[in-house]
Structure formats: C-alpha cells, structure tokens
Structure 1
C-alpha cells in the first residue's frame, strides 16, 4: 500500500532527521551531531571576519548581533546540548581576543565579559541561561493558554486535557517536553492570577490561590471538600461571587479564609510592571543580577566611541598590556614615557607618570576618573 501511494502521488519517501526551515526535524533527543549545521554557520561567519582589522569593540558588536541571531534561532526551537552551547561560546571568546589570529592573550575572563554593563561587563548574554529563558517563553504561552499558537493547542489536547501545566508529569512525553517541564518551577513564584469566571483555571492544580497549588497543600482536598480533582475554578463561582461548599475540616478552612476578590475576567500575568514575561526577565531567572560597579557610567554617553571606551574598560580592570604584566618576557618593566624609573603599571600610567600629567586638564571633559574609582 505504501509503495502504491508513493507511485500515485509521486512523492519520495524520506527518513528522519530532515531539515525544515534550516532546523533539524527529529523525533528523538537532539544531539551534538544534529547541531553541526549551527556550528558550521558560526564558523563561516567568524572566519569571514577574521581577515578584517576589527577593533575589540567591533568584535563585541558582531558577536551581539550576528552570532547571537544565529544562536537564538535555534535556541527558540530546541533545548540545545550543553556541549553545543559551550562550543559556540568558545568560538565567540576566541574571536573576541584573537580575531583571525591563531594566538592572543585573553585579557578578561569570559564570565566577566558576559556581565551587564552596570556590573562591569560588556553585556554579552550567556548562551545556556538564554536558551532556558527562551524555553520558558513557551511555558508562558501554555500558562496563559495562548490558543492562537498551534503548538499550545496541540500540547493542551495531547498532555493537558485533564490536568494543569503545573502538575502534569512528563512520563510518556518526548525528551524535549520532559526538559521543558523541568523549567516550570522557575516561573511558579512570578505568576499572578486574577480570577473572573475561572473557566480556564484548574481549581486544584493551578497556583491561583495564595497558598499555591491546592493539591500540593491539601492532597486529600478533593475528597474532604467534595470537589473533583479535575474541577475548574468556575465550579465554585456564581453570579454573586464565591460559592464554595461548606467546609467543616479545620485545616481545609484556610482555602476559603484566604480567597482573593474576584476580577471582571480571568487574567494571568507576570508579577512585574506590565504583567508580561519578557525574555530579559526570563533570563534573569537563570542569571540573576549582581552588584553594580561605581564606574559603569563612564562607559556610557551619547558621544561615546566604542573602540576608545573598550580600551578604557580594559584600563579600569587593569587588563592592558603594561610592562609589569610582561615579566615573563624578561623585559625591563620601567616606564618608557618618563624618567622616574617606576614600574609601568596602570596606576603609574594614568595617575603618576610625568608624561600623562602633561595632558590638558580639560581633556575628556564630561567624566572624571580617579585611582579610587576601581
């Protein structure tokens, strides 16, 4: 029958994996071998730029725009293997510090380069937290029951017909589905439920109540209260408001005592201004903000020249190639700009050197830096 259909329709029989819109279409776990195309595209871009005389700032901009666009296209569709993400970051790190050369000193650790500007980095996002954040956006569509999404509609009909996204088990699902479910606890503390009719919200499974998912707090709740496990919140709401059955068990009375007022309609939002989970906020769930540095404002401004400000960034971090850092070459470490004989360090070059003191005081007007700033 199969061969007859192929002959009649004129189709060719294919085998997974195949490529669709540049991505592998597979039915099993995504492997490093499946992601070779992503690595090849990254290599092609970086090798093409290697022949150009690019500044550090230009390389950072290319990494943020082009290379990140390639990675995000894949990261929005798959939970990428850690080996692939590490390989892409290794290529990015090598391109930043070496360009098209085969050697070059790494001046700043990659983990520090990837910090936000306010924390003393270059604002490059780490790929693994970003991949998880993008996967959480799919979870967010499921939580909000975004029925305009074909994927959400299929997941609800396939896995969520009788349970909630918060309590469904991953057994029997695909590898990707099980991986996505492992990320849902990151969203639990940030989801805000405002109940109206309650028609699309599970009574026992969804975290609409101040106590969280009621089935976790009251495992025997359906039997004690007399409401089925598969009930929606609309079962205890009528035209006048809440309409719960009489609860005689003292422990389960907390359910009714802590109810919130009803809204006009059901709304599920994020606990931030605007109520929408953005990619940036999802990224911060996996890569929390750290301590700000006092000098980050020096690297900003409408007239900033990226190339010069990158060098200033290296100087503040004391990562310039001064002679005191080249002791292993056996060179004389004395400053060559002045006759004091002091060792060429960052502090000497910028604050003690007689040559640098001769720079006009209004040079670089608009910002000031002192040795106590870092």
Structure 2
C-alpha cells in the first residue's frame, strides 16, 4: 500500500472533521486565545482551498470549572454538568470570535453519542449539518455534557467525532490532542516505544497497544482514538492523530509534523452505498419509466415518479425501488409509508398542501440510494 502522510491526506480532503481536545484549548481554566486564533487561521486556509470543515470541540467542562472556581481533581457528575452549562456559552462565543475575522459564520450543534445511534435523530443531524455546510457555515459540534453522562465518565468525544465524520460523509477526521500519534507503548514510560506513521489495518495487536489517559484534562486516551479510527476508516474516512499544542496545528501537519495516519477503506460515498445496498428493504416504491430515466442520470427520486407504495416503513428505513422492468436498487425513504402514499404521483410543489407542513423535495435523495 502506498505511503500516506498527514500532509497529503489533509491536502486532498474535501470534507474535514477536526476534533479539539480540552488540554489544547484550556490551560489552568483559561482559554488559550492565541492558540484558538491560530487554529481559526488554519481553518480559514482549509476553507479557502475548497474544503468543508466541521469542528468537534471538547472544553466546555474545563472552561466552566474555571469560571465557577471549582476545585482541582475529579468533579461529581452534577458538578461536571453544571460546569458544562456555563462553559458551553463561553466555548461557542470563543469560536465565533476567532472565526468571524475570517468572514466565517459558525453554528453550534449540541450532540451526545446516543443521538447518532437513534435513527430519526441521526437523520435530522445529517440534514442539519449538510444544510449548514451548504450555506458556508463551520458547525461547532459540542458534546452536550449538560445532559450526557457516559461521555463525561468514559471520554467518548473521540468516538463522537468519528460518528460525526461518518454522518456527514467526511473523507478525513483529524484528532488534535496532546499526543502525536500511536506508539507500540506509552512513550512517557517506555523509552523504546516506536511511533507508527501509518496504520493500514487495525489489527487486534494495534488495539492492544492503545494505552490509558495521560492528561488531567483529556479523558479519552489512546483507546478511544483507536475505536474512533475503526469507525472512521470503515466508512471510507481516513483519520489522523496529531499533537496540536503548537500554534497553527493544521499548518504544522502540512509542513510535516509527526502524526499517525489511519488509512481509509475505500471512500465515503462508496462505503455508504455498500451499506445501503446491504440493508433489507421494509417496503417497495414502484416508479415509472420517467423516474427510471432520471435515476439513471444520477437524480433524486421525486414523488411525481412514484406510481405505487408497498409495505409499512418509517422515514430513514430502507425501501426497494422497482421499475417497470424489475428491481433498480435500495434507498432510504425521506418519508414514512403513509406520507409517501399521500404524495406519490404528485409534483413536489404540492407536498406542503397535501401534508399540511413543508416537506422535503425528494422521496429518496440521490445520496441515499444504491442502484
């Protein structure tokens, strides 16, 4: 397999998720403002090159505990949640102030890992993030620690970042932390620990090398980073683990800073298509010859081209697409079966009047089908 570097994958990526660890953003309860401004300049550079950028940021608890003057050491769960409530406001404002000088709009999205596992919420997250990116916004995804508990206890923010990357079809996830990659052992205690520049396949041996947390602020450790890599690369998204403490951490990567690259298995689009194709349909949409022709040209399936609905299904469920001459493929329904039956055969402009609420134009979006 060809050798990849962090510089090469970052330079080629068109949609990037950047995860920021608490230890990089907050020092002794205070925001590292100069560092954040340097990161904002790097993000502006990525955007100028044509890449979409999403930031998944830790730091709300660390900022909140500083503002509330909470004691050092472990906090009770309710104290962590209270700190998150205070810190989230400061965190969102900090990113907005850092990116506004670059004429970049920001939007805050509060998530928990459970949100990405619930089908309906997952679809809403995907639609919202896609819309924000389409409008040129850099979403700031912050783990919703005011209500989450498992993420606070177990440090799942790395895996949350991986789920976000998969959700939006990113081709690169960059985990900026206080370590510069994966080693055969803990480099702080093992002088013979060897650094991995590239991981082609995540084997059980690679997983066994993942250590435990070494920072008082970062809770994820290497274990959750390797788990994040498994999720990411399986969806066609490469992942980079890099040290981010220096100013302009992304520019440092492009200039050859040491990091570990986890190689993607294919690309996001083909990985998603394979996933959809493997799903068992819960219903059938029969389409006319005009729709068959439109789908063959890479277009979405509109209600006007649907002649009949079979089965009971919910929004987001897989449904078979059947043409006059046989099966065409599988797609994820944009409406449930009752709604789909009501709008079938109608023009998209009639959807609002039929359903009594503004609906989506497509019954199945072109990105949500495998033909």
TM-score (normalised: structure 2): 0.26
Of structures 1 and 2, the larger Rg is shown by: 1
TM-score (normalised: structure 1): 0.25
